Structure 1
């Protein structure tokens, strides 16, 4: 299916923050590259431009005029006009893909041996609350809300949004955002829509943006509401746009996180004045379906809307999504675990809407895209199989592995409004590329590329990760990242948050 189906900036400043520093020191910290404090054990070598051996990384990747050739991999382009190659090459110059095909002539380029890997576009996560990374697995057995039904006492709205989120300091936002970004880079997720519901003050917003910039990852920052009297939401989006988002030709772009209640008209009007997409949670069980239909009658729903979850919607709501061209993001593991409602995979497909995929919250489930893809794949097929076993004959098509990869790449780029830049290995697009090892013990021997990615692989197969031409992970290790230091900082943040919120961690 075509990638346009309906339905680089410079690294920002700042070494990883030491949480022992005062708030004033944090806010005043100058611009320093993450790599300045990196240990040699996590940094890849950088040889001179030219032919590189299997353990050598081309220098200055992503810089204007620098060329390198990913040679001899199994190329899964996700662009039907480009095609796939059992053994092919991808030529990168600066931040752009120049050519894709077999035996490309690039005598002046550094050579990166891609033998025994799949070369494909990076994954796109269209909904992730990255600031919550210090809370990983804390709510692994919790629900979304106390809905009056059984099991709801331990829930996200009470514990995460009600008790923990209000005590976040800017430095907690910073380390959570940075750690999440690097973790997903490590797993091959090159792009994220960061749904940032922690903008208690302008300093919290600045901290989130700083971390996203420093990570070297492509991100759309969805500026969302905060808590307390210090919040400048939503008007502060005007300052943020002017200060951080003056150019559209950068890795970090802007969106407005605005829900279907409260001051929606003011927030949405402001987002459209600024000219950014609008990201909203949409869970039908909370009455949002009726609100969606009302807003559409007022002419407020447009193609720049992205709706998260889209569970439990009426037929009229689905008609709104189809007619306006709004995007949807499905977080199947979360929806199944936290009682959002059944992930609307088949409902979306029945309406001709191609979904994107998202991780949502790591307080409950991993942000690993192999887990997301496998969940979507097995869920849809299992539901269709059950209908077949119950005697139905006129059944929808079963999802293929390629379908699910398309959701994770092409459709993710479309919903993020970045299709012109990423989502496929297309000459002229920016080089957001991942190399996945096929000679690992969990994959070899390779017999089917899409099948291996969806049914066999996991984050340990991610060998190399490239964002806008710049190599961010090389031969299994993140480049210029001091993981030991960052881990200490996020542990310190976690300890502060639980203590301040007066919540006792139960390790077992």
Structure 2
């Protein structure tokens, strides 16, 4: 199938964000085939009139606990310790497989609705195989491009066996949904258990994403030393909430080929530490954005870009004034793709890449007369601007409406789940 996106204000992100101006984008077989002015129409092609819209690569969320969509804003003023107790200690154990499905489906559709076309689902609610199967099924049915971050939640002695089962049953063939190991890591579990997590990742040739560097300076240093001593300071490793690493330690991560996932709103709100968007990028580490959890933060990329931009620009003595709107956009697109291991697949408009695209309306009072399209995306746009979304060339949202799901039914299922998981337990 061929799709021709005509007359949009096209923004690319590789190697750096740039505004092409009013040009066309041709998609063939799910891939970006051509970007240029006045492209000829192809017989039988779907034509999308993007006049007055900004066309850009889809956003990438590199770390999101998607299953928590049904407990949105349940703890807006909570601390990190309170989150661990309330969300993971009290609410998570009450989740049934059907609740995981409802949360993952609604959460993934929330991403698509907001222009997030690639999601790393950091799923730490795998209490039974049925929980896991429900999470993966929901991701596949949503139509999003996803990396399922498998965090083993059962008895630790079953980690290797269950991890292999998940891989073999769900990820034996290529598709929009792939797998990573979401490791608890040496700052949360024992070093022996952490080694088992990395052993499984190496056996299955999977990337690793772990919460590393987010507790305190001592824990960050000890965890990084553990990785180095065991030959685990390696590519295809994502360091989530890496706030407490020094600049020299961030350079070690950069030299190893690792990436960083920053949650600017949650990290500030939960007291995890000041986000390191600028420091990590200055050290040469590919740096991405993470929604993390909607229990105490918004679920869209526009909020994160604005927050990171303001936090960096507002550093004392003007230290962050070199951080630009285009840096925030790059983190939300191509750098996010690099961090999750899909830099050659999505994140920019390079010919041959998968056509994961977002079209943003500019004909609104909040977006009209914007002189810098990149600045408008980062500083002015919100989810209401998202008109059209494509994943692998397939249109999943058009004219502001998701096409492949009955959203009313999805929301009803989510509401029922929310009542069940928050009901008082005797």
Alignment TM class, shorter chain as reference: over 0.9
CA distance in 1, matches of 2:69, 2:137: 16
CA distance in 2, matches of 1:375, 1:349: 16
2:238 is aligned to 306
How far did 1:350 drift?
A: 3.0
Q: What does residue range 167-206 of structure 1 map to in structure 2 within 5 Å? A: 167-206=94-133
What are the superposed Cα offsets for residues 396-452 of structure 1, whole Å, 9 maximum, x if unpaired?
652111111000000000001011110001111110000000111211113110011
What are the superposed Cα offsets for residues 452-480 of structure 1, whole Å, 9 maximum, x if unpaired?
10111100000000000110000100003
How far did 1:125 drift?
A: 0.1
| Structure 2 residue 314 is the aligned partner of structure 1 residue 378 | no
**Over aligned residues, Cα RMSD in angstroms?**
1.8
5+ residue gaps, structure 1, are 1-65, 146-154, 389-394, 503-508
Q: What does residue range 128-147 of structure 1 map to in structure 2 within 5 Å? A: 128-145=64-81
1:235 is aligned to 161
> Which of 98, 101, 113 lines up with 2:33 in the alignment?
98
CA distance in 2, matches of 1:425, 1:92: 10
Q: Is the 8 A contact 1:127 1:358 kept in 2?
A: yes
What are the superposed Cα offsets for residues 218-277 of structure 1, whole Å, 9 maximum, x if unpaired?
0000000215x5994343121122111112x31000000112222011110111110110
Relative to total residues, which structure has the larger helix share, 1 or 2? 2
SS of the residue 2:369 aligns to: coil
> Which of 272, 275, 279 lines up with 2:209 in the alignment?
279
CA distance in 2, matches of 1:479, 1:341: 39
SS of the residue 1:236 aligns to: helix
SS of the residue 1:76 aligns to: strand
| Structure 2 residue 305 is the aligned partner of structure 1 residue 369 | no
Q: Is the 8 A contact 1:377 1:400 kept in 2?
A: yes
| Structure 2 residue 179 is the aligned partner of structure 1 residue 254 | yes
Does the C-alpha gap of structure 1 residues 396 and 131 become closer, same or farther in structure 2, counting only changes over 3 Å?
Answer: closer
CA distance in 2, matches of 1:401, 1:250: 33
1:404 is aligned to 328
TM-score, normalization: structure 2? 0.94
> Which of 67, 71, 87 lines up with 2:6 in the alignment?
71
Q: What does residue range 474-489 of structure 1 map to in structure 2 within 5 Å? A: 474-489=398-413
Relative to total residues, which structure has the larger strand share, 1 or 2? 2
CA distance in 2, matches of 1:374, 1:396: 14
Does the C-alpha gap of structure 1 residues 224 and 448 become closer, same or farther in structure 2, counting only changes over 3 Å?
Answer: same
> Which of 204, 215, 221 lines up with 1:289 in the alignment?
221
CA distance in 2, matches of 1:232, 1:170: 19
Q: What does residue range 403-482 of structure 1 map to in structure 2 within 5 Å? A: 403-482=327-406
SS of the residue 1:311 aligns to: coil
SS of the residue 2:51 aligns to: coil
Q: Is the 8 A contact 2:5 2:24 kept in 1?
A: yes
1:208 is aligned to 135
CA distance in 1, matches of 2:160, 2:56: 38
> Which of 21, 37, 60 lines up with 1:86 in the alignment?
21
> Which of 60, 64, 69 lines up with 1:124 in the alignment?
60
Which has more radius of gyration? Answer: 1
SS of the residue 1:104 aligns to: coil
Does the C-alpha gap of structure 1 residues 199 and 233 become closer, same or farther in structure 2, counting only changes over 3 Å?
Answer: farther
CA distance in 2, matches of 1:412, 1:315: 21
How far did 1:81 drift?
A: 9.2
CA distance in 2, matches of 1:359, 1:463: 21
CA distance in 1, matches of 2:11, 2:87: 39
5+ residue gaps, structure 2, are none
